[in-house]
Chains A and B, each alone.
Chain A
């Protein structure tokens, strides 16, 4: 199979329905942007993809690599090729970036081959340095505790570094532009662009158009009140940039009320 298909997805948090029937298809090699006002369910969609325990899927399917992954454990989804770059990456005290990434990488290798002895330290270091250079990161970064005391820009770069290391086939980037200054935004975007090839499908979740000046989407979707209400090409993002979200609210609030 060539990507991810979301069919009529309904998701609730503590009994409150947030996603009310999302349909979306992402193929490898494509870049999608999901835009929309705050509180319409964009991040919920991202978390539900990864199987966060607080997000309950009440209806619908997520077909990935030929199987419905709705019941699949979070770590298994990741090893199958799904990735989420978090909007707010949490600190993991006492665990260095290098140790964490090596553990994650070896978990993947062992899932494929239970006899695998893990990547050699030498190969790992070489690989990590290459990826860090791609994101213009100081090599000393590898020895720091993951996300602990990281600046906003460092956190987002660390997310993309993980994506570069784990090589997913579908990646959700949740508000990756938030908290970034213009230089960091450029570096992170260049990193994503360098990774986005025919083997990777990317879903960029963003409130603002500015990230899309750096990461060019093939498709743009607008999310409103738990549904995708408009889909189109890059021109849709430009329209949002120009007109804001008011017209979306105007056009769809009646649908919502009904």
Chain B
């Protein structure tokens, strides 16, 4: 059964009636009785059908308008669709962290490729796609899917839960230290496609791992595709996760994701975001500090140009005493692009000795670019230390003159200042390869300006 709603859009004096119906149907949901995710997907589909397309009358979507999104265009890629589409660039498969991968997964339209070092598999590490996991680790999938993010959280969360074709399950057993970083890429070429992904990461008690996941596709002119994704993460008591997400979708991709991490007692999360792509992004990233002594750090890098629109919605939830969070998002904006960052630090009643910090800094490189930074604090405990900051600036003329006066040409001087602006975030990233990727992105974006 498909959705039946219709929304009437008023623009000026004309009334335009646009199709607001996705092409997805109940028949596309894999609920075969031998799948461990059958009931999870069925529930998610019901939720998907209940939700209308988010509109700007909802607070979370107030600054991100989907009225121009051609929702009826998108189709799920057929099995093996990747065979007729541009292949993944070799550069994307190179290790960004360390010299060698412990495992690598490539998620493609209608397919995937998986590799994992045998010694890691022997230790009980699971790093595989959903298709394999459904057969080989059904109990893990059943146990973890939907425990961190409920499909009922929103239209796109429900969509991803019901229809994810590209899924990854990472499980690191108790006490296992994975030295070699893991890497995965969701490569989404093609037009009129809906790439739908679901990552489940469970780092068990006392375990530790570094994991880099990328979303990427080529640019396509005058076209549209979409991605809807879920990222569910548990960092169990005493565990340690360094998680890097890089988003470089083509400029035709409508990108939606719901992400949440549960951080347990004395566990530690270092979460890095890099976003340079997509036509439009709406991302929800939530940090739930659920165990005493939990620590979470979120570092975001974004750089937009053209008419890109990036909207990051972050939550730092301090739910028990003695937890620590530190968020820094920095972005530069060129062209007519726009960014939104809306952040909230929530301190639950009784969550004493909370230490929470959030900051968002933006650099506007053109007169037509726009950034909105909306920090927020909601504190229900009395012995806490929380602070926030938000700034929107542009390249100042006096520092620029200073650099010019030393013989540095204008374009290089601007590049130096933009790199300088990003330096505090680059310094927070413990991986040389990721830092280089960001520096490369800065160069490319400035070259395009």
Q: Which A residues form the contact surface with B (CB < 8 A)?
A: 50, 52-53, 73-79, 84, 86, 89-95, 99-100, 103-104, 107-108, 111, 145, 162, 166
Contact = CB atoms under 8 A, between A and B. Distances in A.
Contacts of A84: 405
Interface in B93-145: none
Contacts of A107: 407-409, 412
A249 B408 CA distance: 41
B406 interface: yes
B420 A93 contact: yes
Contacts of A99: 416
Given A50-B405, A100-B403, 10 more contacts: A75-B406, A78-B405, A78-B406, A92-B402, A92-B403, A92-B417, A103-B416, A104-B403, A104-B408, A107-B412
B407 A86 contact: no
Contact of A94 (B397, B405, B421): B421
Interface string B399-429: 1011111111110110011011111100000
Given A74-B401, A107-B412, A94 B424 contact: yes
B432 to A, nearest CB: 15
Contact of A52 (B401, B403, B409): B401
Given A79-B407, A107-B408, A53 B401 contact: yes
Given A74-B401, A86-B402, A107-B412, A94 B423 contact: yes
Given A94-B419, A95-B417, A95-B423, A74 B412 contact: no
Contact of B402 (A53, A76, A90, A145): A90
A94 B404 CA distance: 17
A89 B401 CA distance: 11
B407 A75 contact: yes
A53 B401 CA distance: 9
A75 B399 contact: no
B398 interface: yes
A258 B100 CA distance: 81
Nearest to B403: A92
Contact of A145 (B401, B404, B420): B420
Contact of A75 (B408, B416, B419, B423): B408
B406 A104 contact: yes
A94 B422 contact: yes
Contacts of A53: 397, 401
A79 B404 CA distance: 10
Nearest to A88: B398
A75 B404 contact: yes
24 contacts: A73-B410, A74-B405, A75-B405, A75-B406, A75-B409, A75-B413, A78-B404, A86-B402, A90-B398, A90-B399, A92-B399, A92-B402, A92-B416, A93-B420, A93-B421, A94-B420, A94-B423, A95-B416, A95-B417, A104-B403, A104-B407, A104-B408, A162-B406, A166-B407
Contacts of A74: 401, 404-405
Contacts of B402: 86, 89-90, 92
Contacts of A111: 407
B422 A75 contact: no
B420 A78 contact: no
Nearest to B422: A94
A100 B401 contact: no
Contacts of A86: 402, 405
A84 B443 CA distance: 29
A145 B408 CA distance: 17
Interface string B423-445: 11000000000000000000000
Contacts of A52: 401
Contacts of A100: 403, 406, 416
A74 B421 CA distance: 23
Q: Which 4 A-B pairs have the closest CB atoms?
A: A94-B420, A94-B423, A78-B407, A95-B420
B420 A92 contact: yes
A86 B402 CA distance: 9
A131 to B, nearest CB: 15
